[in-house]
Amino acid sequence: MPDTKYVFVTGGNLSGLGKGLAAASMGRLLKSRGLQVNILKIDPYINVDAGTMSPYQHGEVYVTKDGAETDLDLGHYERIVDIGLTEKSNITTGQVYQAVIDKERKGSYLGATVQVIPHITNEIKDRIHSLSDIEGESPDVIIVEVGGTVGDIESLPFLEAIRQFRMEQPRGQVINVHLTYIPYISTTGELKTKLTQHAVKELRAIGIQPDILLCRSTRSLDDELKKKIALFCNVPIDCIFSNVDVENIYFIPLVFEEMGVGERLVELLGLKCDRPDLSEWKEMVDAIKNSTGILKIALVGKYALLRDAYISVLEALAHGGIANRVTVDVDCIISEKLEGNDNWRDILAGYSGIVVPGGFGDRGIKGKLLACQYAREEKIPFLGLCLGLQVATVEYARNVLGIEDANSTEFDEISQNPIIDLMPEQKKITRKGGTMRLGHYYCELKPGSKAHEAYGVDSVNERHRHRLEVNNKYRPMLEKAGMVMSGVSPDDLLVEMIELKDHPWFVATQFHPEFQSRPQRAHPLFKTFIRASKDYQKRVEELSPGIKLEAERKT
Ligand code: GLN
């Protein structure tokens, strides 16, 4: 029986308090002590996975290497803990019920009335346990974040399962961390503890006593306040921590460590481990703090109103900035704003780089086409991601090859010039859930290309989530006109990357490199894109003394 310890992370009062970041930061603190950490997220919604949800509902869909379409918090886990997660790392109500109902139909529970307790709760516990033995490897600690807020109807079976889980484990194997809210009342200048008291009361009513409280607030709690919380919530004062807003999410692990969160976790779980080594993390944070300038990047997308819809892209751009010692300031531009707008060029002017990210459906496509055209014509560094590659190819076919009606069959099913078309194996698929080309696939890089130069290797494994591809029929034409197919699948049947010969840096990928970027190890394409944008900014400023690209936008 593996000696894995467990940290359950729940949240009270309201969502959006940063539970995912807190869970990931605790993971980083444990990992920095030489411990093997695994981490998983429970999402109490009924969808089997996040893949069928609009990014406006739940933010970005994060794709794991094995192709699971998961919650965006898994992105925070991978980036902050720096681990590779799998489909086992995200449990939803949909998955749990589907599995239990399948077993019922198979006759696995013959004779029994199948109920939430014990059948659903057992299924939940089994799934958590299954992470404690992956191909014979047992992590020292598994962190389990329960999405939603304690008190929500749909999270009840999960909380009950957690309560049982702790009872069934030897003492000291499991702890509960609860994240609560401490509002600041500006008229009286006070931090109020009542919401936290209620949040803890709610958790205790379910039978879970928190061991650690992380109190999210705009300012630090003093000892008097902590004493009050300790008394009402039955949590020792040295286990109550202020979780104060910070400027940058990557500062959180260091702030937590300084407050003693790491030490307390180790002590409560009785872990034997090394002293924390956060030197690499500190170096990265120093690079953020000592950036040498600001770089303005435009991200032109359809879900631009919600930054969470592009969170991994935004983080990867920030990582590119860290690697190049610049602060990357991204404006998310709603692509529809460019459409039918005589001043669309003005909207895009003044940026040092343009990104067209992934997406689905034809809304906002015209604006994305304009963004690609502008970057191509004005020689502004461009990075296209998935749909971004497809739109850049359509734009090239229309405006360079002169195929006016070139299109993607996603936007025009009966297009006479389907430059982008459904992959053959996608043509028969009608079910939407989990049926795209998902997860890791190899891409071979063309020697001498910008892609090859950026990666510095011949072949890469990147994460995918798409149904359409560049239509091979048009490849020779596109290549003849100056488009380079700089990355292809090993069988040469799928275009994985394109770039333009006659451009300082115009690169697009059919895959999603953003998912593999890390703050201390920016993804090569993001690192190189930001370097090219920095060069572009410098060139413009040198050519037009007096014009500062970064300043121009801020006014
Ligand atoms: N909608 C496009 C496809 O299915 C692009 C997908 C994406 O950007 N993730 O191929």
pLDDT of res. 544:
81
Same domain, 222 and 357: no
Q: Which pLDDT tens digit goes with each residue over 359-379?
A: 999 999 999 999 999 999 999
What are the phi and psi torsion angles at 530 (to 5°)? -70, -35
Annotated active-site residue 514? The verdict is yes
C-alpha–C-alpha distance, residues 371 and 231, integer Å: 58
Query: Which of 54, 356, 390, 469 to mutate to test ligand 1, by most ligand atoms within 8 A of the CB atom?
Result: 390
435 Cα to the center of ligand 1, angstroms? 12
Annotated active-site residue 386? The verdict is yes
> What total number of domains does the chain contain?
2
Same domain, 271 and 398: no
Q: How far is CA 52 from CA 16, 313, 440, in A?
A: 21, 20, 20
**Atom 7, ligand 1: residue with shortest CA distance:** 358
Count of residues in the chain: 555
User: Do the Cβ atoms of 314 and 76 come closer than 8 Å?
Assistant: no
What is the average per-residue pLDDT within 44-54? 94
Same domain, 329 and 402: yes
User: Do the Cβ atoms of 155 and 44 come closer than 8 Å?
Assistant: yes
Question: Which ligand 1 atom is nearest residue 410's CA?
Answer: 1
Residue with tokens 């400027």: 247
Q: Which pLDDT tens digit goes with each residue over 234-246?
A: 999 999 999 999 9
Residues 101, 107, 109, 112: what is their CA dihedral angle, to the nearest 10 degrees?
A: 100
Query: Which of 60, 360, 425, 496 to mutate to test ligand 1, by most ligand atoms within 8 A of the CB atom?
Result: 360
**What CATH number is given to the structural domain containing 63?**
3.40.50.300
Question: Which ligand 1 atom is nearest residue 359's CA?
Answer: 8
pLDDT of res. 550:
60
User: Do the Cβ atoms of 14 and 180 come closer than 8 Å?
Assistant: no
Question: Which ligand 1 atom is nearest residue 361's CA?
Answer: 1
Q: What is the sign, positive or negative, of the torsion defined by CA atoms of 337, 339, 345, 349?
A: positive
Q: Which pLDDT tens digit goes with each residue over 452-476?
A: 999 999 999 999 999 999 999 999 9
Q: Does residue 552 register a pLDDT over 80?
A: no
Q: How far is CA 66 from CA 46, 152, 354, 462, in A?
A: 22, 31, 30, 11
> Mapping DSSP to helix (H, G, I), strand (E, B) and coil, where does residue 58 land?
helix
pLDDT of res. 549:
67
User: Do the Cβ atoms of 381 and 326 come closer than 8 Å?
Assistant: no
Query: Which of 356, 410, 441 to mutate to test ligand 1, by most ligand atoms within 8 A of the CB atom?
Result: 410
Q: Does residue 294 register a pLDDT over 50?
A: yes
Q: What residues flank ligand 1, with Cβ below 6 Å?
A: 358-360, 386-387, 410, 465-468
Annotated active-site residue 190? The verdict is no
pLDDT of res. 313:
98
**Atom 9, ligand 1: residue with shortest CA distance:** 358
User: Do the Cβ atoms of 207 and 167 come closer than 8 Å?
Assistant: no
Same domain, 279 and 419: no
pTM flag (> 0.75): yes
Same domain, 305 and 276: no
Same domain, 211 and 295: no
Same domain, 312 and 374: yes
Q: Residue 343's pLDDT band (boundaries 50, 70, 90)?
A: very high
Q: Which pLDDT tens digit goes with each residue over 95-132?
A: 999 999 999 999 999 999 999 999 999 999 999 999 98
373 Cα to the center of ligand 1, angstroms? 20
Q: Which pLDDT tens digit goes with each residue over 136-171?
A: 789 999 999 999 999 999 999 999 999 999 999 999
**Atom 6, ligand 1: residue with shortest CA distance:** 466
What are the phi and psi torsion angles at 468 (to 5°)? -110, 165
C-alpha–C-alpha distance, residues 337 and 123, integer Å: 48
Mean pLDDT in the chain? Answer: 95
pLDDT of res. 543:
87
Question: Which ligand 1 atom is nearest residue 512's CA?
Answer: 9
Same domain, 273 and 342: no
Same domain, 234 and 336: no
pLDDT of res. 551:
46
70 Cα to the center of ligand 1, angstroms? 16
Q: Residue 2's pLDDT band (boundaries 50, 70, 90)?
A: low
359 Cα to the center of ligand 1, angstroms? 6
C-alpha–C-alpha distance, residues 67 and 464, integer Å: 8
Q: Residue 449's pLDDT band (boundaries 50, 70, 90)?
A: very high
What is the average per-residue pLDDT within 337-353? 95
Q: Does residue 545 register a pLDDT over 80?
A: no
Q: Which pLDDT tens digit goes with each residue over 170-224?
A: 999 999 999 999 999 999 999 999 999 999 999 999 999 999 999 999 999 999 9
**Atom 5, ligand 1: residue with shortest CA distance:** 387
Residue tagged active-site, from 233, 372, 386, 443: 386
481 Cα to the center of ligand 1, angstroms? 25
Task: List, as own/partner pairs, every contact residues 76-79 make where C-beta atoms lie below 8 angstroms and the sequence separation is at least 24, other chains included.
Answer: 76/20, 76/21, 76/24, 76/249, 77/20, 77/23, 77/24, 77/27, 77/39, 77/41, 78/515, 78/518, 79/24, 79/315, 79/517, 79/518, 79/519
Q: How far is CA 322 from CA 317, 451, 464, 538, in A?
A: 9, 20, 25, 18
Percentage of the residues of the chain whose pLDDT score is greater than 90: 92
Q: Residue 554's pLDDT band (boundaries 50, 70, 90)?
A: very low
Domain range spanning residue 412?
Answer: 291-554
Same domain, 256 and 340: no
pLDDT of res. 538:
95
Same domain, 302 and 415: yes
Same domain, 267 and 319: no
C-alpha–C-alpha distance, residues 286 and 250, integer Å: 11
Could you say which of 262, 284, 306 is where a domain stops? Answer: 284
Tokens of residue 205, six digits: 């009513």
Q: Residue 555's pLDDT band (boundaries 50, 70, 90)?
A: very low
**What CATH number is given to the structural domain containing 455?**
3.40.50.880
Could you say which of 284, 315, 348 is where a domain stops? Answer: 284
Could you say which of 269, 284, 299 is where a domain stops? Answer: 284
What is the average per-residue pLDDT within 498-503? 96
